[in-house]
Structure 1
Amino acid sequence: MIKKTALSPEKVNQQIVNWLTDYAKNAKSNGFVIGISGGIDSAVTSILCAQTGLEVLCIEMPIHQAPSQVSRAQEHIQQLKKRFPNVKSASSDLTSVFETFKKIVPEHENSDKVNLSLANTRARLRMSTLYYYAGIYGLLVAGTGNKVEDFGVGFYTKYGDGGVDLSPIADLLKSDVYALGEFLKVPHSILTAAPTDGLFGDDRSDEDQLGASYDELEWAMLQDEEKKSALDFTGREKEVFELYKRLNTANQHKMNPIPVCLIKKN
């Protein structure tokens, strides 16, 4: 169960919409392009962008996608287009591109590493597709990552779904996103679906991959911000906190700026 957020959805909604509007105008952009996955994060982000009144292009990019994810994405897009006249949509099925890629790269004996690399390849193909549309129509690529994913455990693909122009909801915890989603009238099918990145072509959830729920990871993130250590906890709390710290440490390369070798001037 997602815990109740302390934030005011109405105030957060207006702040983000104002921020998006100002950023796009200052960048002299026509609006935003967003990849729609059938999940809560992309649904909330696309509604926020739509409220700016600027052009919003929602893109479906299936790659051997589960039917349930496709149907949720289509349900959301249809609803969004009915609510906002500035929203358009397009679909680019990348399955054949992905299969061609698999044929031209070398095989490897470690199947786990191959599967993970191919999962990340899906995300990077989608990023390239979004920037293709962005370049044609003069749009900004809107990111859909939340705070737990982007700055907590680094649960995203570097130069994949992490490759964006701006991140409207990256300062919101997952529970904040759900609360905002309810306020914004995101379809019930999305609000109740188990979060998944959909990168492996099966029904595994984010919790299956991470080893903890978003509620648990939010708790660990807040404890870490309060400078707690694993010694402060026992049982499942200790297990989750150690998992969070391990993921946070391992994925710092995603969260920190790319290191640059600075040449000595003398």
Structure 2
Amino acid sequence: MKEEKIIDHITNWLKSYAEKAGMKGFVIGVSGGIDSALASTLCARTGLEVLCLEMPIHQAENQVNRALRHIDWLQEKHQNVRMETVNLTPVFDSLVAEFPKVENEVDRFMALANTRARLRMTSLYYFAAYHKLLVAGTGNKVEDFGVGFFTKYGDGGVDLSPIADLMKTEVYALASYLGINHEILDAPPTDGLWGDDRTDEDQIGASYPELEWAMRQDALGKQLDDFNGREKEVYDIYKRLNRANQHKMNPIPVCEIPEKWK
């Protein structure tokens, strides 16, 4: 993997896109995870304005601390980086209090997890509009185009995606090359939407290297019956999530009206 060439390519792409759009730079949510750490670092390398938002909603303290330490590290290296903390916990709690009570607490819990991501997206776009910035996404290729592991109109609501053509293992490789804090490199990936310590692997049922393997097999046209044991289990997980989340990965369907009726 040619880390330096990829880093320079993404950095130049980000800078060129922002300048052509007539924008001052980028706003990005920093969670304390590897994806937002890499994406924010790449944005900072452009030399354009970068606003890092830390937006806790009943967030685990270790996640908040990792995010703050990463932002400190960025600011030490790049004078174009600044940060804002927006405590969304009271906003979230007030919104939840207005929702009607339901019997199915499992479905309600999932809906509320996605609501957290959508509140953060709303906050990002407020600052983007006010400061004339682009919202930079933090999704990687496995999440965005493999299993659809993101919230529609939440962390999926962005202006541009600098790392969405990188597998998760490639994200780690670039982050390590750039010297991103080891506590972020070593932390188990989590979306941080549940207020507990569950990881992405806990939710999905497979690790990112396993999902990358399945994504490659799918591209080769392999079928479930081609595998046995754990490989078959992982491939089934991948295919099931890929099918279920096509509505996130494909354009919004439009009901087209026949021209003869217009």
TM-score (norm 2): 0.99
Q: In the TM superposition, what is the alpha-carbon distance from 1:19 to its structure 2 partner? A: 0.5
Output aligned runs, 1:76-95, within 5 Å.
76-95=70-89
Instruction: Report whether the alignment pairs 1:208 with 2:202.
Output: yes
Residue 111 of structure 1 aligns to which amino acid in structure 2?
A: E
Instruction: Report whether the alignment pairs 1:43 with 2:65.
Output: no
Which residue, out of 46, 50, 55, partners 1:52? 46
Counterpart in the other structure of 1:71: 65
Output the CA distance in 1 between the equivalents of 2:190 and 2:3: 24
Which residue, out of 161, 165, 170, partners 2:159? 165
Q: What per-residue deviation string (whole Å, max 9, x for no partner) do you get for residues 217-251 of structure 1?
A: 01000110111111111000000001100000000
Which residue, out of 9, 17, 20, partners 2:11? 17
Q: In the TM superposition, what is the alpha-carbon distance from 1:35 to its structure 2 partner? A: 0.1
Higher relative contact order (Cα pairs below 8 Å, separated by 6+ residues): 1
Q: What per-residue deviation string (whole Å, max 9, x for no partner) do you get for residues 168-227 of structure 1?
A: 000000000000000111100000000000000000000000000001001000110111
Q: In the TM superposition, what is the alpha-carbon distance from 1:107 to its structure 2 partner? A: 1.3
Which residue, out of 99, 118, 125, partners 2:93? 99
Instruction: Report whether the alignment pairs 1:61 with 2:55.
Output: yes
Instruction: Report whether the alignment pairs 1:112 with 2:106.
Output: yes
Which residue, out of 147, 158, 165, partners 2:141? 147
Output the CA distance in 2 between the equivalents of 1:38 and 1:101: 25
Q: What SS does the aligned partner of 2:259 have?
A: coil
Counterpart in the other structure of 1:244: 238
Q: In the TM superposition, what is the alpha-carbon distance from 1:56 to its structure 2 partner? A: 0.2
Counterpart in the other structure of 1:218: 212
Counterpart in the other structure of 1:4: none
Instruction: Report whether the alignment pairs 1:29 with 2:27.
Output: no
Residue 71 of structure 1 aligns to which amino acid in structure 2?
A: N
Residue 178 of structure 1 aligns to which amino acid in structure 2?
A: Y
Output the CA distance in 2 between the equivalents of 1:222 and 1:186: 28
TM-score (norm 1): 0.97
Output the CA distance in 2 between the equivalents of 1:105 and 1:217: 36
Q: In the TM superposition, what is the alpha-carbon distance from 1:265 to its structure 2 partner? A: 1.2
Q: In the TM superposition, what is the alpha-carbon distance from 1:82 to its structure 2 partner? A: 0.5
Paired residues in the alignment total 260
Output the CA distance in 1 between the equivalents of 2:101 and 2:137: 32
Output the CA distance in 2 between the equivalents of 1:171 and 1:29: 23
Identify unmatched segments of 5+ residues in structure 2. none
Instruction: Report whether the alignment pairs 1:129 with 2:155.
Output: no
Output the CA distance in 2 between the equivalents of 1:107 and 1:155: 27
Cα-Cα RMSD: 0.5
Residue 62 of structure 2 aligns to which amino acid in structure 1?
A: S
Output the CA distance in 1 between the equivalents of 2:92 and 2:244: 27
